[in-house]
Amino acid sequence: MKQLLLNKKKTLGQFILIKLLLSYIFSCAVSADEKKSPEELASALGVKLNSRPWHLANIWWDFENKIENFESLEIDITIDRDVPESYNLYIAPCGSAKINGMQFYGGIQTNINGWKNMRKGKRVHSGKGVIFSRWSRDQKTPIGLDHVQTVTKANLVESAGYEGEFASVRRPYQWEKGEYTWGITKSRSVQHKGQEATWFTCWIKDDQLGTRTEIGSLLFEGEDFTFDASMSAFVEVYATSKLPNSHIPEVNVGFGMPRINGKKIPLKAASAYYPKTVSEPHEPGPKERLSPDCANVIADGEQCIVKVGRIFRRDEKNRSHALNLK
């Protein structure tokens, strides 16, 4: 009996040792993969990646109708883990939206950058923050910083044409794992260059703390606005001069149903799309920029969850699919 117990203990010890060794080997393999660049990991799968930015996943909400008398937009964001500033990750709950035909977008980034003063100057990198940008109506006519209003000396701004003519306001904000709401709200109307124009103010709310932080405002031509019948969200890995070759973090990001004028808008459809090439809005034809396949989107009630992980080869028939939101 004693010998039997000794044998059982020996077998159990060997089992634990093998388990520990396998765990160590696996962790070493994962660690080795983490050190490899996305380009190296993609190359091992026979895929050649082009330069960043990389749209990892796009979500589209198609509404039943356009929304007249637009006053506000807000979208909830859920992030399941901290993403350090050693990555360039852009979580855009508003990836593309239009009011009166004018396109805008916004969200949170691990590394915001821009000009410190209300004029072109040295580019400043401020770490994590919130961003709100708009394009000129035709995306070809320059739009100046007279379309931008800041709220603090920490704000960064930019007006440029390398992604179509745009103006932008950004503010440092130390977001982390948690739940947030990104939104814009119609503010006051003013006379601008002899015509009516209206300021829209961007803000972010920490849903756990209940604190709301104003980011800044952008000026849109017009006084009454109609929100288009569709909008998107996306998750992106981008490039900066400070961090030109960011790796891809593992993270799960949730986007709630958009609320316009405080209400959820009836949906005609929702879908996910994983870009292979990116077509810039101001450029004719596709601009070859092969994005890595490393994300999947699932529907979870009213929420769209973007699961970002390791690079894989996607079956082309799965490059887009419906999202059955409830």
80 pLDDT higher than 50: yes
Query: What burial class does residue 29 get, using C-beta atoms within 10 Å of its C-beta: 0-12 exposed, 13-18 middle, 19+ buried?
Result: exposed
Amino acid at 88: N
Kindly state the tokens that stand for 156.
Answer: 């960064």
Question: pLDDT tens digits, residue range 142-200?
Answer: 999 999 999 999 999 999 999 899 999 999 999 999 999 999 999 999 999 999 999 99
Tell me the CB-side half-sphere exposure of residue 87, using CA atoms within 13 A: 20
Q: Binning pLDDT at 50, 70 and 90, where does residue 31 land? A: very low
Tell me the CB-side half-sphere exposure of residue 72, using CA atoms within 13 A: 16
Q: Tell me how far the alpha carbon of residue 145 is from its chain's centroid.
A: 24
Tell me the CB-side half-sphere exposure of residue 294, using CA atoms within 13 A: 26
First to last CA, the chain: 61
| Alpha-carbon span 243 to 127, nearest angstrom | 11
**pTM across the whole model:** 0.88
| Alpha-carbon span 48 to 186, nearest angstrom | 44
Kindly state the tokens that stand for 202.
Answer: 């961007």
Q: Which helix (H) or strand (E) holds 200?
A: strand 195-206
